[in-house]
Amino acid sequence: MNLLLFGPPGSGKGTQADFLTREYGIPQISTGDILRDDVKRGTELGLKAREFMNRGELVPDEVMVEMIRERITRPDCAGGFLLDGFPRTVPQAEALDGMLETIGQRIDRLLYLHVELEELVERLTGRWVCPRCARSYHMVNNRPQDDMKCNVDRTGLVHRDDDTEQTARRRAEVFYQRTYPILAFYRQRGISVEVDGQGSIAEVRERVKRALQGQTGEAA
């Protein structure tokens, strides 16, 4: 199963990815997580990406396409993968299509998590993340069990540099201008499924499960 998780920043892609990777036994490929790791390690890519990320803008397509090409051809992706945060532009979607075709694969499903703008901003500005495993928490909706530590590996949680209100709004704007249009690309193929991403994590998880089983969830 090659699954594409689609939705604006703060729609819960990373959170739902957690159970989907277990359910399908496939790796999660989050381009945002890969970039953040490079920024932390101070690599050439990290230095290049940092400015774009802090402004809430997209990192150039050439950089992202090469990153994905290298990642999806690794052995752990042979049985499928879950993409989170890629593609984000029409050229990225076209490049992904081309590279999958050359290895005899395709995207099987796109899952769109729909969340209203004000809810996105509220989620992003209240979000804290684990710098080690990238799990997200929220100080109201999804508190860590222990004071500001990751439930899984106990690392101290941090606030992402791009989760300020101004940058969160810019990222949402960039999503609707540059990323949302690629939904049409996948709708045409009849592989997109839309799910209401509002409500508790467990409620959304149930909707996602049902939508992927094809029992409910509007075909987008």
Instruction: Select the residue interacting with ligand AMP from 45, 88, 112, 220 (CB under 6 A).
Output: 88
Q: Is 54 exposed, middle or buried (0-12, 13-18, 19+ CB in 10 A)?
A: middle
Give whichever of 158 and 219 is closer to ligand AMP, judged by the CB atom: 158
Instruction: Select the residue interacting with ligand AMP from 11, 15, 16, 31 (CB under 6 A).
Output: 31
Structure tokens at 46: 């990290």
Report whether 25 contacts 133 (CB < 8 A).
no
Active site residue 171: yes
DSSP one-letter string for 116-179: -HHHHHHHHHTEEE-TTT--EEETTTB--SSTTB-TTT-PBPB--TT-SHHHHHHHHHHIIIII
What is the rounded distance in angstroms from the CA atom of residue 185 to the CA atom of residue 4? Answer: 13
Q: Which of 36, 171, 205, 207 is catalytic?
A: 171
Does 5 bind ligand AMP (CB under 6 A)? Our answer is no
Sign of torsion over alpha carbons 162, 140, 157, 154: negative
Give the shortest CB-217-to-ligand AMP separation in angstroms.
Answer: 23
Does 185 bind ligand AMP (CB under 6 A)? Our answer is no
One-letter amino acid of 177: Q
Give the shortest CB-20-to-ligand AMP separation in angstroms.
Answer: 16
Active site residue 88: yes
Point out which span in 82-90, 102-110, 147-155, 204-212 binds ligand AMP (CB under 6 A): 82-90
Does 64 bind ligand AMP (CB under 6 A)? Our answer is yes
Instruction: Select the residue interacting with ligand AMP from 19, 24, 52, 185 (CB under 6 A).
Output: 52
Does 12 bind ligand AMP (CB under 6 A)? Our answer is no
By three-state DSSP, how is residue 219 classified?
Answer: strand
Give the shortest CB-14-to-ligand AMP separation in angstroms.
Answer: 7
Point out which span in 29-37, 145-153, 189-197, 206-214 binds ligand AMP (CB under 6 A): 29-37
By three-state DSSP, how is residue 112 classified?
Answer: strand
What is the rounded distance in angstroms from the CA atom of residue 68 to the CA atom of residue 85? Answer: 11
Residues of this chain that bind ligand AMP (CB under 6 A): 9, 31-32, 35, 52-53, 56-59, 64, 85-86, 88, 92, 162, 171
Task: Point out the residues that are catalytic.
Answer: 13, 88, 127, 160, 171
